[in-house]
Structure 1
Amino acid sequence: MFHKVAIIGGGAAAATLVSELLERRTQRPLHLDWYTGGPMAGRGVAYGTPSERHLLNVRAASMGMFVSKPGGFLEYAQALDPSVKGADFLPRRMYGDFLQSRVEDAVKNAGSFGHDVNVLPFAAESVVPSAEGVTIGYGDGETQAEAAVLAIGSLPPRPLPGVEDAAIASGRYITDPWPFLASAESHERPLRVLIIGLGLTAVDVLLELSARWPNAHFDALSRHGKLPEPHLAAASAPNDDGGELIESMRDDVNIRVWLRRLREATAGAEDWRTVIDGMRPHTQSLWHDLPQAERARFLRHARWAWERARHRMPPQVAATIANLESDGRLTRSRGRMRSVRLSEDGSLAVVHRLPGGGETTDSYDIVIQTVGLNTDTQRTDHRLVRQLVLGDLVTPDPLGLGFAALPDGHLLDGEGKPRRNLFAIGSLLRGALWESTAIPEIRKQAQSLANMLLAEKVQRVATR
């Protein structure tokens, strides 16, 4: 058992792991240092939005915080509003309240289990693992732990290639939409806004700004010009356990073959969503089976289609976006952004390549980048990640999907060997697990990590 553990990060993954650890009885007390990075521990970016328009894209019944209590969030929501049903898509703000309340209770009650908790509202700036333990640096301070877990979420977004510095400095090119949404004021001006990317973050931006800016027109540009698929209005169970499809995929580990078999399976199903949902318990093991070259092929050619089918919009959100289009306030286009420059009149000139060849230039008042999670640990300004990578203390995932790691969360050192006492949870394990960002996967990781950290006999792994 590791008796002194450091958890680094203040979002949902950190809150889930902290709660999982503190609500267990152990033979000897646990000392936990939690570096939250700020005063609002437990919410993170995902559940920090105050907007009622931003909904969970998973039904309430599936959003429990613990594997052992899958209905915990539904019980919390029904205590507030008895009319809530398990199939409802509730506000993410409410889920943030749930996470925060549960982790606060776990911290408050830790003493009854014999545990000692130190909540530090600072960002860890350095982590140095060694055979003896882990040294964590923050501000002017430094502490020691026997093991540390990185639960820092995705990395700060970086501007896309081709965006000139002057465009960014103007404040009209928005690299990170969340601080912008938090401060954007309502007004009636007829702005022209470009959204680059069409995933769930783009949908959140459109929901919020279309309500605050009723006279704005929104163009949305992405490679394929397609929105995330919608959920069905009513919950539906997978048509089977996916066994036949999964076994056929394991027989031939090839992305082209997998896509063909997936298309065949969805074509024969009453609704394609039941096939995708039936794959969910097997996705991580399928990813593990894929050779590196096949993973790269998936990312180049099929990632966009998987993401829009796997991460879907609540039906009421899909209806709102459809109304924006039918009212002429939203236009979707296929293409790739080539450059963004600041014009003399203060607008942004955006050049994008058309699907059939050629380019076009349009002028916008504001351009907002919503291209998905940044998990590229080799190209980031995140201070802690840069320290770990430049110090050769960890190995970046070669495909830009976080850290190289074992599926159980052990990070690999600069020589590619698993570290005994340094782990990760959440978004930066996408290279090892692929599906590693949603609460149903996070809570399983938290349970597994807690088992390892608190095991009386610490698991032996190959170390240098």
Structure 2
Amino acid sequence: MFHKVAIIGGGAAAATLVSELLERRTPRPLHLNWYAGAVSAGRGVAYGTPSERHLLNVRAASMGMFVSKPGGFLEYAQALNPAVKGSDFLPRRLYGDFLQSRVEQAVKNAGSFGHDVNVIPFMAESLVPSSEGVTIGYGDEVAHAEAAVLAIGSLPPRPLPGVEDAAIASGRYVTDPWPYLVSAPVDERPLRVLVIGLGLTAVDVVLELSARWPNATFTALSRHGKLPEPHLASASAPGGDDADLVESMRDDPNVRVWMRALRDAASQAEDWRTLVDGLRPHTQSLWADLPVAERARFLRHARWAWERARHRMPPQVAASIAALERAGRLARGRGRMRGVSLSHEGALDVRRGLAGGGEAVESYDVVIQTVGLNTDTLRTEHRLVRQLVIDGLVKPDPLGLGFAALPDGHLLDGNGRARSNLFAIGSLLRGALWESTAIPEIRKQAQSVANMLMAESAERAHSR
């Protein structure tokens, strides 16, 4: 086994892996350095929101931290409020409390298992893996480990092409909505707000700001102008035996064929949601079957439809968004943003391509970018990831979906060889797994990576 391990990241994926490791009894003590980036870690961006309006889009019963205890979050929530049901969609803030409390308990109890853990309130800034181990740089310090795991979540968002520097400098163009939502004050002016994107983040932004800005009106722009689909009001089990559908998809890994097969199957299902949920256990292996050219085709033509069907809104969130539309405070538009400039009056002039062709220019007081996770490791400004890529120590996924990696989390070096002592979990494995961002997938990855780190074969491989 690897005895000295470095975990890099301060969000849910890192907290899950740290807890998974520290709660294991091992033949020899584990020395763990957790580069968490904060004194109080474990929440990350996803669960750092303080707003009660921001709900999990997975029911409480499925949000446990460990594979062996999928109901752990429900037990935590019911201890605070016995009225909570497993079918409830609870605040993400509460889930952040759960993660933080569990990882803090794991760190506190580490000594009873013989483990030594050091929570470092800095992010690693450089990392150099070799056959002798991994060298980690942070601040003016250098440390060494036998193995390291990158659990850094998605990368910092970058402004979309066509956004002028003056628009960004004005503070009216918001690239990262989450810090903005924390600090946005109550404002009763009749603000005109454009939200670029129509996924779950856009929904959260509109819900929060519509409450803080009671006289604001919102336009949400996306390629197809469609919101995420809603969950059913009551929990439903995944569809029946999907073996024939999955087998037919494996026989012909072609996106066009797959979409036809899914449409046909959905038309015969009692509810299409049960079909999508039934495919979830097979999604990673189906993605592995797709050639790179077909993956690129999926991203161009089918990703938007899959995402809105797969990542759904809680029913109460869908109802709130519908109420804003009925009240005339939210309008949805189809098209692409082509440019944003700062006008002489201080507003933002947005050029957008229209769905039927042509172009329109509209003015807004605030523009907020909500276009999904940034996983482009080749173009990121993230200091650690940039160092790894520039130095050829890791290989970017060819489609911009994180790192090139094996499905088990081993990262590939610049020549495409698997590194024995460098792993990743979470959103930067989308290229290898596609489904790699939700807690049910992350807890499986944490268990798998922990197994590899603790295996005796890992020590033998490292010693060669």
TM-score > 0.5, shorter chain as reference: yes
Find the aligned partners of 1:373 and 1:332 in 2 and give their Cα distance: 21
| Root-mean-square deviation over aligned CA pairs | 1.2
Corresponding residue for residue 383 of structure 1: 383
TM-score for both structures, normalised by structure 2: 0.99
1:4 aligns with 2:4: yes
| Amino acid across the alignment from 1:234 | S
Runs of 4+ in 1 over 4 A off after TM superposition: 459-464
Corresponding residue for residue 141 of structure 1: 141
| Amino acid across the alignment from 2:181 | L
Contact 2:395–2:414 at 8 Å: present in 1 too?
yes
Find the aligned partners of 2:158 and 2:38 in 1 and give their Cα distance: 22
Corresponding residue for residue 346 of structure 2: 346
Find the aligned partners of 1:198 and 1:211 in 2 and give their Cα distance: 18
Contact 1:175–1:369 at 8 Å: present in 2 too?
yes
Structure 2 unmatched runs, 5+ = none
Corresponding residue for residue 178 of structure 1: 178
Deviation at 1:256, TM superposition (A): 0.4
Q: Secondary structure at the match of 1:220?
A: strand
Deviation at 1:332, TM superposition (A): 0.2
Corresponding residue for residue 257 of structure 2: 257
Find the aligned partners of 2:295 and 2:394 in 1 and give their Cα distance: 21
Find the aligned partners of 1:459 and 1:329 in 2 and give their Cα distance: 60
What pairs with 1:224-239 in structure 2 (closer than 5 Å)?
224-239=224-239
Q: Secondary structure at the match of 1:162?
A: coil
Corresponding residue for residue 80 of structure 1: 80
Contact 1:377–1:396 at 8 Å: present in 2 too?
yes
Q: Secondary structure at the match of 1:194?
A: strand
TM-score for both structures, normalised by structure 1: 0.99
Deviation at 1:456, TM superposition (A): 1.6
Deviation at 1:84, TM superposition (A): 0.2
| Amino acid across the alignment from 2:19 | S
Contact 1:43–1:96 at 8 Å: present in 2 too?
yes
Deviation at 1:70, TM superposition (A): 0.5
What pairs with 1:277-292 in structure 2 (closer than 5 Å)?
277-292=277-292
1:191 aligns with 2:191: yes
Find the aligned partners of 1:457 and 1:288 in 2 and give their Cα distance: 26
Q: Secondary structure at the match of 1:420?
A: strand
Comparing 31-40 and 424-433, the one that deviates more: 31-40
Deviation at 1:379, TM superposition (A): 0.5
| Amino acid across the alignment from 1:12 | A
- Using a 3 Å threshold, how does the CA distance of structure 1 residues 111 and 241 change in structure 2: closer, same or farther? farther
| Amino acid across the alignment from 2:126 | S
Contact 1:419–1:463 at 8 Å: present in 2 too?
no
What pairs with 1:302-321 in structure 2 (closer than 5 Å)?
302-321=302-321
Deviation at 1:145, TM superposition (A): 0.0
Find the aligned partners of 2:71 and 2:217 in 1 and give their Cα distance: 41
| Amino acid across the alignment from 1:305 | A
| Amino acid across the alignment from 1:227 | L
Find the aligned partners of 1:461 and 1:364 in 2 and give their Cα distance: 58
Residue deviations 1:340-361 (CA, integer Å, cap 9, x gap):
0000000000000001110000
Deviation at 1:463, TM superposition (A): 13
Contact 1:420–1:463 at 8 Å: present in 2 too?
no
Q: Secondary structure at the match of 1:189?
A: coil
Corresponding residue for residue 457 of structure 1: 457
Find the aligned partners of 2:325 and 2:110 in 1 and give their Cα distance: 51
Corresponding residue for residue 370 of structure 2: 370
| Amino acid across the alignment from 1:400 | G
Corresponding residue for residue 163 of structure 1: 163
Deviation at 1:39, TM superposition (A): 2.2
Corresponding residue for residue 38 of structure 1: 38
Contact 1:420–1:460 at 8 Å: present in 2 too?
no
Residue deviations 1:81-123 (CA, integer Å, cap 9, x gap):
0000000000000000000000000000000000000000001
Residue deviations 1:354-408 (CA, integer Å, cap 9, x gap):
0111000000000000000000000010000000000000000000000000000
Deviation at 1:462, TM superposition (A): 12
Q: Secondary structure at the match of 1:362?
A: strand
- Using a 3 Å threshold, how does the CA distance of structure 1 residues 457 and 463 change in structure 2: closer, same or farther? closer
Deviation at 1:40, TM superposition (A): 2.9
Corresponding residue for residue 325 of structure 1: 325
Contact 1:230–1:313 at 8 Å: present in 2 too?
yes
Deviation at 1:243, TM superposition (A): 1.2
Residue deviations 1:230-257 (CA, integer Å, cap 9, x gap):
0000000012142121011111111000
Comparing 234-243 and 428-437, the one that deviates more: 234-243
Find the aligned partners of 1:28 and 1:374 in 2 and give their Cα distance: 39
What pairs with 1:18-33 in structure 2 (closer than 5 Å)?
18-33=18-33
Deviation at 1:459, TM superposition (A): 7.8
1:215 aligns with 2:183: no
| Amino acid across the alignment from 2:103 | V
Deviation at 1:461, TM superposition (A): 7.6
1:203 aligns with 2:191: no
Deviation at 1:457, TM superposition (A): 1.8
Report % sequence identity: 81
Find the aligned partners of 1:40 and 1:284 in 2 and give their Cα distance: 33
Corresponding residue for residue 69 of structure 1: 69
What pairs with 1:271-282 in structure 2 (closer than 5 Å)?
271-282=271-282
Deviation at 1:460, TM superposition (A): 7.7
Contact 2:13–2:151 at 8 Å: present in 1 too?
yes
Find the aligned partners of 1:354 and 1:188 in 2 and give their Cα distance: 31
Structure 1 unmatched runs, 5+ = none
Corresponding residue for residue 95 of structure 2: 95
Find the aligned partners of 1:22 and 1:36 in 2 and give their Cα distance: 15
Corresponding residue for residue 416 of structure 2: 416
| Amino acid across the alignment from 2:123 | A
Contact 1:218–1:331 at 8 Å: present in 2 too?
yes
- Using a 3 Å threshold, how does the CA distance of structure 1 residues 146 and 460 change in structure 2: closer, same or farther? same
Deviation at 1:417, TM superposition (A): 0.2
Find the aligned partners of 1:127 and 1:347 in 2 and give their Cα distance: 43
Residue deviations 1:318-353 (CA, integer Å, cap 9, x gap):
000000000000000000001000000000000000
Contact 2:39–2:119 at 8 Å: present in 1 too?
no
Q: Secondary structure at the match of 1:457?
A: helix
Find the aligned partners of 1:104 and 1:394 in 2 and give their Cα distance: 31
